[in-house]
Amino acid sequence: MSNLPIEPEFEQAYKELASTLENSTLFQKNPEYRKALQVVSVPERVIQFRVVWENDKGEVEVNRGFRVQFNSALGPYKGGLRFHPSVNLSILKFLGFEQIFKNALTGLNMGGGKGGSDFDPKGKTDSEIRRFCVSFMTELCKHIGADTDVPAGDIGVTGREVGFLFGQYRKIRNQWEGVLTGKGGSWGGSLIRPEATGYGVVYYVDHMIKHASNGKESFAGKRVAISGSGNVAQYAALKVIELGGSVVSLSDSQGSLVAQDGASFTPEEIDIIAQLKVERKQIASITGTEAFASKFRYIPGARPWIHVGKVDVALPSATQNEVSGEEAQALIAAGAKFIAEGSNMGCTQAAIDIFEAHREANPGAAAMWYAPGKAANAGGVAVSGLEMAQNSARLSWTAQEVDARLKDIMESCFKNGLDTAREYATPAEGVLPSLVTGSNIAGFTKVAAAMKDHGDWW
């Protein structure tokens, strides 16, 4: 009997990767890679610590802090910090494991890691959040650095938290370095970083659409369902609108807002929802207003997928496992042809199996084509890597330059996955290649080859 703890999220991420490797010709052509898979699935280091802080009443509070330093073969550990009551080691290991291969696909020199705490920023004052961040960084600073481990923001960690964390790191270590990404623009941050994940997933899907249609189609005229209402969802929605598409849904943890009677979100309505997030309010707080009630239907306690009607594109952009097998069937029935994860592991394995089966059974543009988060949402960490480069050179690039580099990286992620799928999982005549298989193999083989060069396996 195994003595390992039950870690469902990590086991799901591992099995998803391993199954695609097994079902390709990779191990037939390179049987030694089985050992590499065994080695890469164990983190290089897991750090767990207590975080003691004081609330506004002067009472002592305690939380758990974590940092999973999963793999540094390609560069310093790189991955976000998540502050949310659901945080546990299984979730952080899954996120860190995915991050290894996502970072590899960007082409930048970054390893994979993830961290955070079961601290809940919701309902806390700025002073309480600052005191928590100070305590959290007082311990974490012993284990990170610009050339060792470079955390970033994630759920519950916005630019405000990054500022508090960076300030404490600077005070304790007595040095200014690019140790965190997502920094403020006046003190080392990169332009386009808040927008990067949302923009990146749309750039990626744009390549999917053009490839599947032989260049005849784009986002213009497409109906797009999006879940979530944080940075990823907001900026994905704005980019879709800019490219001529219509956004028909957004959501939060309490419910979904779905456009009715052919309506869609405007940039101004998305800005209103963005302000709600800043104020830590729920979407439900505006659904009773005349402007929203006349145009949208609010569905409490539900995700949008089975309520959106006919759609062309689905972008899950909230959290893991937010598209079930049943919802996958509903999206196919609704006519969706493209789904790409703005969130990490946004689809359950059941949903992925349904999408992949539909792709294999339907030639060309008739298929639902699925793109995994490790490729489709790599834009965020890609611009974090660009922020690291700017910090190292002590300079700042223009928004246009960063955006151009982001577009190039997302095109490379798409083409790399596409070409690798053709090599190791050659599809039947007329069938679109598997982007999940291609992306998994491309990321895995790059990391495995570097580890072999370093003597981590042989």
Helix (H, G, I), strand (E, B) or coil at 239: helix
Q: Which amino acid is residue 342, in one-letter code?
A: G
Q: Is 168 annotated for ligand binding? A: no
Backbone angles phi, psi at 69, to 5 degrees: -95, 90
| DSSP 8-state code for residue 155 | T
Helix (H, G, I), strand (E, B) or coil at 383: helix
Rounded to a whole number of angstroms, the CA Rg of the chain reads 21
Q: Is 153 annotated for ligand binding? A: yes
CA distance 399 to 387: 12
Q: Which long-range contacts (CB under 8 A, 24 or more apart) does 324-330 make?
A: 324/348, 324/350, 324/351, 325/350, 325/351, 325/353, 325/354, 327/303, 327/351, 328/354, 328/355, 329/354, 330/305, 330/306
Place of tokens 């870690």: 7
Pairing state between β 255-259 and 246-252:
antiparallel
Q: Is 184 annotated for ligand binding? A: no
In contact, 127 and 56? CB cutoff 8 Å: yes
Q: Is 439 annotated for ligand binding? A: no
List CB contacts of 162: < 8 A, sequence separation 6 or more. 152, 153, 180, 182, 183, 184
Q: Is 277 annotated for ligand binding? A: no
Backbone angles phi, psi at 194, to 5 degrees: -60, -35
114 is catalytic: yes
CA distance 330 to 245: 21
Q: Is 197 annotated for ligand binding? A: yes
CA distance 198 to 203: 9
Torsion angle defined by CA atoms of residues 95, 96, 98 and 102, in that order, rounded to the nearest 10 degrees: 120
Pairing state between β 296-300 and 255-259:
antiparallel
CA 388 to chain centre: 19
Exactly one of 29, 57, 114, 142 is catalytic; name it.
114
Q: At what angle do helices 349-361 and 8-22 cross, to 10 degrees?
A: 20
Q: Is 124 annotated for ligand binding? A: no
| DSSP 8-state code for residue 269 | H
CA triple 276-277-280, angle to 5 deg: 85
Q: Point out the annotated binding site.
A: 78, 99, 102, 153, 197, 231, 384
Give the residue numbers annotated as catalytic, written as ranges: 114
Q: Point out the annotated binding site for NAD(+).
A: 197, 231
Q: Point out the annotated binding site for substrate.
A: 78, 99, 102, 153, 384
